[in-house]
């Protein structure tokens, strides 16, 4: 157990896409496959990264300027997810420094978990392939609960599963919704500034007290 401004930190929760894992290359490949099929040029990864945390909604908006209430959205979404399934973990990897950070958490006997809006059918295979399944204390996916982030329900569900009061948890994420969910759950948000940062607002304005540029910097707040 560790103290942060006199608050005992008993667990760390992580977002997945853009925080633990760099999934943008494979998500981008699925989107560009759709664009190529329609005679459109591929988008560079630099344009795809900021939308990767928003999943199919954000990426389809980027690639085709369509929204969930548009007529063709569901068909496009199913095609995108089908393409993504076919190449789920070709170029996806953990961000540099994540394995070392998790080693430190394990050495300190600090439990950690994953809370993501990503559907379980994608998240669990990736967690397994990336070697996290046997280490993680809790995984909450977007279809495990009724309300996804920025609602606090997924974070509160995770803290309940880990039997740790939300006030004693840190949540590390790379999206404004991660900060909003964390604050609403009574947790301490920290922004992974090395992640995708898919918001028009600068991360310094999201409401988190701390921001980090490398995973190892999280250790300073434990």
Q: What is the CATH number of the domain that holds 102?
A: 3.40.50.1000
Does 205 lie in the same domain as 140? yes
Does 186 lie in the same domain as 108? yes
CA distance 194 to 175: 11
Does 76 lie in the same domain as 96? no
Does 144 lie in the same domain as 62? no
Nearest-CA neighbor of 148 among 48, 22, 51, 16? 16
Does 129 lie in the same domain as 47? no
Interval 174-214: pLDDT, tens: 999 999 999 999 999 999 999 999 888 999 999 999 999 99
The pTM (predicted TM-score) of the whole model is 0.95
pLDDT of residue 198: 87
Does 124 lie in the same domain as 101? yes
Q: How far is CA 192 from the centre of its chain?
A: 10
Final residue of a structural domain among 70, 86, 102: 86
Does 204 lie in the same domain as 132? yes
First to last CA, the chain: 8
Going by pLDDT thresholds of 50, 70 and 90, the confidence category of residue 5 is low
Q: Percent of the chain at pLDDT above 70?
A: 97
pLDDT higher than threshold 60 for residue 2: no
Tell me the residue range of the domain where 118 lies: 2-22+92-221
pLDDT of residue 199: 83
Q: Which residues have C-beta within 8 Å of that of residue 99, sequence separation ≥ 6? A: none
To the nearest whole number, what is the mean pLDDT of the chain?
96
- Host H or E run for residue 32: helix 24-37
Interval 11-37: pLDDT, tens: 999 999 999 999 999 999 999 999 999
Q: What is the mean pLDDT of the segment spanning 40-55? A: 95
Place of tokens 């922004």: 191
Q: What is the mean pLDDT of the segment spanning 143-169? A: 97
Q: Which residues have C-beta within 8 Å of that of residue 34, sequence separation ≥ 6? A: 63, 64, 76, 79, 80, 83
Does 146 lie in the same domain as 113? yes
Q: Which residues have C-beta within 8 Å of that of residue 218, sequence separation ≥ 6? A: 12, 101, 170, 172, 190, 212
50-54, 55-59, 111-115 — most confident range = 111-115
Does 191 lie in the same domain as 111? yes
Do residues 208 and 180 lie in contact, with contact meaning Cβ atoms separated by under 8 Å? Answer: no
What's the domain count of the chain? Answer: 2
Final residue of a structural domain among 86, 108, 135: 86
Going by pLDDT thresholds of 50, 70 and 90, the confidence category of residue 3 is very low
pLDDT of residue 1: 46
DSSP state of 17: B
Residues carrying an active site annotation: 15, 17
CA distances from 169 to 55, 61, 85, 103 (A): 25, 33, 32, 18
């Amino acid at each position: 157990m560790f103290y942060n401004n006199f608050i005992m930190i008993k667990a760390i929760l992580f977002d997945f896409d853009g925080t633990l894992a760099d999934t943008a290359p494979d998500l981008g490949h699925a989107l560009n496959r759709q664009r190529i099929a329609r005679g459109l040029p591929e988008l560079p990864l630099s344009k795809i990264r900021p939308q990767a945390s928003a999943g199919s909604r954000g990426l389809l908006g980027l690639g085709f300027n369509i929204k969930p209430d548009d007529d063709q959205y569901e068909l496009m979404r199913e095609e995108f997810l089908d393409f993504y399934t076919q190449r789920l973990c070709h170029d996806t990897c953990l961000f540099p420094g994540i394995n070392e950070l998790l080693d430190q958490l394990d050495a300190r006997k600090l439990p950690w978990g994953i809370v993501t809006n990503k559907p379980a059918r994608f998240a669990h295979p990736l967690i397994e392939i990336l070697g996290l399944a046997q280490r993680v204390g809790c995984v909450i996916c977007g279809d495990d609960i009724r309300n996804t982030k920025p609602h606090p329900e997924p974070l509160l569900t995770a803290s309940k599963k880990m039997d740790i009061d939300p006030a004693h948890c840190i949540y590390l994420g790379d999206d404004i919704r991660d900060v909003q969910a964390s604050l609403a759950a009574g947790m301490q948000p920290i922004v992974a500034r090395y992640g995708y940062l898919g918001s028009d607002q600068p991360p310094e304005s999201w409401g988190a007290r701390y921001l980090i540029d490398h995973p190892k910097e999280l250790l300073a707040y434990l």
